[in-house]
Structure 1
Amino acid sequence: MQLSKEDMLARANAASKNTLMETLSIEIVDFGDDFLVARMPVTSKVHQPDGVLHGGATAALAESVGSFASHIFIDTEKFFIRGLEITANHLKSISEGYIYAKATFLHKGRTTQLLDIRVTDDDENLISICRLSTISLPKK
């Protein structure tokens, strides 16, 4: 029996309990054959002292969605995913609403993966561009 998209999203979000993703209220909201989308509310919890979104919170969202995308495309019985490197270019500030991170694969190898992650606001304005490389490591 194949799960519905809603059931798969519910399972994915349930896996985030007691993690940084839950702390930052990050939720996975969409996926397809070659992408995964998560969102995070922009509130004072993720602000810099001057009241705008903290770049570190954006990077945490990007790494979360990218790592999760890599995770769902591997055999998790045999392998686990770890991030190797993340870069983030912050292009626009935001102080409220939601930001959305869409991860797409640039390279989906057996050992390493490279993802492009575009972070946008509610109006689809580009906030940040991130790149994440991940590695699949065998479980012992």
Structure 2
Amino acid sequence: MDPHDLPPGGLNEKLGVQIVEASAERIVGTMPVEGNEQPYGLLHGGASIALAESLGSIGSALHAHPLGKIAVGVDINATHHRSARSGLVTGVATAIHRGRTSASYEVVVTNEDDKRLCTARITCALIDADRV
């Protein structure tokens, strides 16, 4: 399955998420800070989490597809280390478990200076495609 065959989804479009690299093992995406700030002008933590969930979900979907399954998120947690006021942030999701019934990814979001902004972990359940 080509990652470009996946529908972008309305939230990803609104956030400005761009997928740079995608495989079941590693997914890289970017997102602008502009338009994704909270009231104090800082990158919104929820935007970082949405980026992380998108990247982990794409990886899970790429893993699930050959198994005849689809991926649905069941858990996400995140720690915010610092924020950003401008530029692009980059998320790198790396598989930490790819099984028959679940997949988990660690996602590290960094700023343009490669400083860590957020660390997240997402787990997706892999369910039979005909159950949806």
TM-score (norm 2): 0.90
Residue of 84, 92, 107 corresponding to 2:97: 107
Name structure 2 gaps, 5 residues minimum.
Answer: none
Distance in 2, Cα, partners of 1:71 & 1:79: 8
Partner of 1:15: 7
State the alpha-carbon separation in 1 of the partners of residues 58 and 24 from structure 2. Answer: 14
Partner of 1:65: 55
* Structure 1: distance between partners of 2:90 and 2:42: 16
Distance (Å, rounded) in 2 between the aligned partners of 1:105 and 1:75? 15
TM-score (normalizing by structure 1) = 0.85
**C-alpha displacement at 1:32, in angstroms?**
5.0
Name stretches of at least 5 consecutive residues in structure 1 with no aligned partner: 1-7
Provide the residue aligned with 1:4 in structure 2: none
Alignment pair present for 1:133 and 2:123: yes
SS in 1 for 2:84: coil
Q: Structure 1 vs Structure 2: percent identity of aligned residues?
A: 32
- Over 3 Å counting, the alpha-carbon distance change for 1:111 and 1:77 in structure 2 is closer
- Give the number of aligned pairs: 130
Judging changes above 3 Å, is the alpha-carbon distance between structure 1 residues 67 and 137 closer, same or farther for their aligned structure 2 residues? same
